[in-house]
Chains A and B, each alone.
Chain A
Amino acid sequence: MNLSVSLAGVTLKNPVMTASGTFGSGEEYSEFFDLGRLGAVVTKGVANVPWPGNPTPRVAETCGGMLNAIGLQNPGIDVFVNRDIPFLKKFDTRIIVNVCGKTTEDYEEVVERLAEEPVDLLEINISCPNVKEGGIAFGQDPRAAEAITRAVKKKAKQPVIMKLSPNVTNIGDMARAVEAGGADAVSLINTLTGMKIDIHKRCFALANKTGGLSGPAIKPVAVRMVYEAAHAVSLPVIGMGGIMSGEDALEFILAGARAVSVGTATFHDPRAALKVADGIRAYMERYGVEDINELVGAVDQ
């Protein structure tokens, strides 16, 4: 039985990875399982310099999900290169570095710094709803998305995944734009912008007022968008958004995702990503599927 998949020429032992921002750089969760059992670890976004992030409270639970407005707190590329990459190299898994920035130059600087590092893929975050500059500014306009993709691709030594925002009218247009810019893959969805109000204190639940909604509550939206993106472009698609189980992951794969990311589920169970991989394996055994790639986009075939 084959679970390995290929993303822009990089082979993953299985299609399950972590969603950026939910797994740090893996250190905290390495206490719970061998990271080498994952197809890839996707790190929390890293910028050219340390970012302090947003005021607290930064998270709030919602029905079947949660809101977050961390604001991309991160140690910056220097610490990341010296501490986090060597740590991840100890495990037999692929390393995907999520890159964030406020300006095109910020993204370029991080990508250049990573050029000689043992990193397998880059994921460019143009979809964080919680920072005022950069991030989402590139992710809601097709021309801006194409331009940042092109700029990053000029500097990047590794294949580039563009991470798309669901907070757009037409996800197909965004996928086509980054494909035109030279992207090697797309990942989606990032969080949906939301708000929660504490009616007793009559205040916002998050200090940032708005935050990104994640968790199983958003899964049907994510599956639909993955399906649309997969039909809009010929690039490999990495699907995510509320995956809690192997069954959830299979919906994304059947919709057209070649790999999947597990995010918020990890807060519910530190071993969630492993369980998703096990669930995919069990499904393949049950239905006699020899190769996971047979299932990619196989809905209604």
Chain B
Amino acid sequence: MKTELSPRAQALAYLTLCVLLIPFVFPTWWMVTSSVKPVSQIFAFPPDIWPRAFDFSSYSDVFKIQPFALQYWNSAYIAGIVTVGTMIVASMAGYAFARIKFPFANAIFMVVLVGLLIPSEVTLVPLFQLFLKWGMINTHWPLILVPIFGAPAVFATFIMRQFFISLPVELEEAARVDGLGRFKIFWTIALPLARPALAAVAIFTFLGSWNLYLEPIVFISSADKFTLPQALTQFTDAYGGPMWNIQLAAATMTAVPVLVVFIVAQKQFVEGLAHTGLKG
């Protein structure tokens, strides 16, 4: 690597980066290490960067206080369905808007784009009424249906559309000459080429569902149906004060798996996101 910076400027750049890095990585470090400290030491002064003694009991307490394994499963299966569902809905709609000529295509696209401009909080009251009518309050349906078909999916459709527009059209034309139907072309030619965009959509959608907080606390009220973000805040003592070590253990179990996946696949993550951003 060739740099244009003098050694002094280089040292300054590294120093700045390292100092700035502290508030980005320290919280995660503190979460993991505090979760394995004995409860008497989590507020110790001076703070222990490395635990002086280890106590893993908070990890088993997590499962005693709440049905945490079930809540973990709830979050995982909802995020899974939402991710796959969004990929299907958005890639189909995105492809149609980018490639297929049909009457009113532009007008319909404008209508769909409204979903991009409306913050989901705006429609929360009517959606609550709607799901009340459908008997879906305190079920997972609102957390599955709205993200796949509602406003959050529009962003995914937009990404897919932009990607399909940028694909060279010649490949598909050749296939059409060979008599291939639209669906076959979509499925066997366009979709495999769209893997980078699909990866970006998958990442966005999964994180969005995994982090969803306002909707679960509005729609869901019983502990066995909670998702993780909702469950994390429920580890409180009789006075409503948080039981820190147990909360941190639960938070660690929620955050670390995704973090590990990210570090393994960080190239996909970062480039996928940069890609979508540029096209936006």
Query: Do A and B form a real pair?
Result: no
A residues near B (Cβ < 8 Å) are: none
